[in-house]
Amino acid sequence: MYKNIMKQTNLKLKDLVDYQEGQVVSKTLVQNDQMSMTIFSFDEGEEISTHASGGDAMVTVLEGIGRFTVDGEVFILQEGETLIMPKDIPHAVYGEEKFKMQLTVSF
């Protein structure tokens, strides 16, 4: 089920992706018919433009500050904070500063 990740090892999820200047970087840890789990890093000012997901998407900020716009409502999340973006509702993600997040989508 898990890929791109060491098993039976103490890990910090935020250490699984590095920042890259001017980019959004992702590493998929799980991808199947029921769920996906991905770790992202965003350089400051980088974004994923408005889109909708085929499942409920839960994000947890692992480091830094991110801005999440869900159906026109803006949420600013910091390390340790979580937001659920409902299935089929338009949302976007923006790096207020460099930040990392875990995204889990349940289908």
Could you tell me if residue 64 is inside a domain?
yes
Q: Is residue 39 a part of any domain in this protein?
A: yes
User: Can you give the residue range of the structural domain that contains 38?
Assistant: 24-106
Whether residue 85 lies inside any domain: the answer is yes
What's the pLDDT at 36? 97
pLDDT tens by residue, 91-100: 999 999 999 9
Asked, for residue 99, whether it belongs to a domain, the answer is yes
**pLDDT tens track of the chain, all 107 residues?**
899 999 999 999 999 999 999 999 999 999 999 999 999 999 999 999 999 999 999 999 999 999 999 999 999 999 999 999 999 999 999 999 999 999 999 99
Contacts of 6 (CB under 8 A, 6+ apart): none
pLDDT at 73: 98
Is 67 inside a domain boundary? Answer: yes
At residue 66, the pLDDT reads 98
User: Is residue 65 included in any domain, yes or no?
Assistant: yes
pLDDT at 1: 83
Provide the number of structural domains found in the chain: 1
Does residue 54 belong to any structural domain of this protein? yes
Domain of residue 73, CATH code: 2.60.120.10
Residue 60 lies in a domain: yes
